[in-house]
Homo-oligomer: A and B are copies of this chain.
């Protein structure tokens, strides 16, 4: 890739970005778009323009807003994970800034004057190897330094600098996150999941005992002073179906009433009652008055639901339960203690948030979970491995020189300079990005099949899989794939030269990743910021689908940040930038821009958008731990007599990762007693409300007072919460 196409690429990206920012500024000032840009303010009943002045809506305005938002604000608006995600972004940013301050002024001059890439004589013994052209960008990397030159010392010491900066920043971030989580956990707000544990693998009870009695007597015996009540998980698929049907009818009535009210114009004061057909998709069958028909249906379904609720609670008890305790410490303790003598019985764990529970996964037993997990891992391994093949092919073929060489008839098209420049700049990157868009849904589905009990854990699992996928496929395979293809003939002749080849060609991939980061940065964040896609969808929905106020609200209700792909993508960029930071220091400014803007936008969105994905960001740091290692693996490839100087970094990195893991991870996985114990004596929570929040909506009786009637899968209170 020559300088022209690189500059074209970056410039085009930048123009698109500026355009998108302008679009955002313009669109966000229009009151009709407010729900898309300021949903959280609306949810809290505030007018986004009130008390701020229109000036704050300018690009400068929102940047000021984003920077001034404090961490507690973010936690309050969007939860701990959002805050942890911001810490992750700002950590990478700090690492890059500290690295850049030293690396850019030192390495760029050293590399630029190295001169190794100016003269490369064609190998006289091997006529197939042609003289290569090198762009000015490549001349700014380590590739331009001659072998065995003393200039390489600068690069070696840079690796140490980057590594120690990484250790320092990561250690501080770990401490920060650890405190953040502890602070969030020790707030006095009552969260139901803090008082409950999930019990699985309940043994088969004796025939004259229900599972519920069995659970009750077991936990009452083991936790006589702290056991509050238990709720056995039931198979409520059928009840849920009826419940959803009723809800559907209710929605239809609400919509029909809105349509009916709108139809009452002056010319037609009675209005027209909406009707629909009851056959297939509302297209065939008898025409009925919607409101009347649906009300009748609801009346018919309600007793059915109640009957089904009773049957479910009586007869469809499953071998899993939510056990509620009367204090946070008791629940935290119970979730960490081994209960039964064999591990495949009475396994306990912290209860998921009520709204996050994946009910079908709860009753799966230990062995089923293990088998499902193994099968899913094998499938994911296959996906990771076989996706590599087409990606490597694309990366190798889409270099225009290669295309021309292999397919000479394309020459007519690609020789035209304008087309050539655009194609060269974007073709490989776009192919890659499109390819990657297909995967997250599949990984999410697979993660749910593992038997994970909560949605948020499934997101975390999917995110981990996605990270391995993109690191392996995008990062490693592009680098190696293009290298191998370029030099295929040489390798076939001299297999032993492969290591030399890798060392020589690695710096060449730097330009690709430079462009990749720039594209991700300008276009990706531009779209993100302008929210063009959600805006269009919102307006379409509002025009054609929404009948009631609730419908409109649902149309602009913000989703989460999309952690399952967002975090791995950021991790990939971080990995790429850190790896190439020494090889091609020019990548650092792009990385800094990416994470700086990413941090601003995420903060802006998190302040404005609601997200309720639970804790998972701590796994991100695990990935970051691995980063320093890459340096060690990539660098010694460069021929240099002093390369052993880098060897100590490998054990240091491993020890650092081990110590961090040992010190901080237990508290990420389990609730430390000292964090939850402090509020236990000060308050007496509403245990009934905690308990009720775990009843699935389809099993909730219409009136809450009837709750005690549904006691078959639920146990009576046996002890009170400690009073003040």
Contact = CB atoms under 8 A, between A and B. Distances in A.
Nearest to A178: B341
B338 A670 contact: yes
A667 interface: yes
Interface stretch (A30-38, A152-160, A252-260, A657-665): A657-665
Contacts of A667: 338, 340-343
A628 to B, nearest CB: 20
A8 interface: no
Nearest to A221: B677
Contact of A332 (B225, B337, B677): B337
A203 B192 CA distance: 32
A673 interface: yes
B336 A336 contact: yes
A565 interface: no
B337 A674 contact: no
A666 B343 contact: yes
A262 interface: no
B222 A344 contact: no
A339 B667 CA distance: 9
A342 B179 CA distance: 10
A183 to B, nearest CB: 10
Nearest to A671: B338
- A interface majority secondary structure: helix
A218 B674 CA distance: 9
Contacts of A340: 667, 672, 674
A675 B340 CA distance: 8
A333 interface: yes
Contact of A672 (B339, B670, B674, B675): B339
Contacts of A90: none
A476 interface: no
Nearest to A676: B222
A224 interface: yes
Contacts of A664: 342-343
Nearest to A664: B342
A531 B37 CA distance: 89
Contact of A222 (B224, B329, B336, B341): B329
Interface string A669-699: 0111111011001000000000000000000
Nearest to A332: B337
Interface string A182-218: 1000000000000000000000000000000000001
B663 A338 contact: no
Interface of A: 178-179, 182, 218, 221-222, 224-225, 329, 332-333, 336-344, 346, 366-367, 370, 659, 662-667, 670-675, 677-678, 681
Of all A-B residue pairs in the complex, the 4 with the closest CB atoms, nearest first, are A343-B666, A338-B670, A341-B672, A338-B672
23 contacts: A178-B342, A222-B329, A224-B681, A225-B225, A333-B333, A336-B337, A336-B338, A337-B673, A338-B670, A338-B672, A338-B673, A339-B673, A339-B674, A340-B667, A340-B672, A341-B674, A341-B675, A342-B664, A343-B664, A343-B665, A344-B662, A344-B663, A367-B659
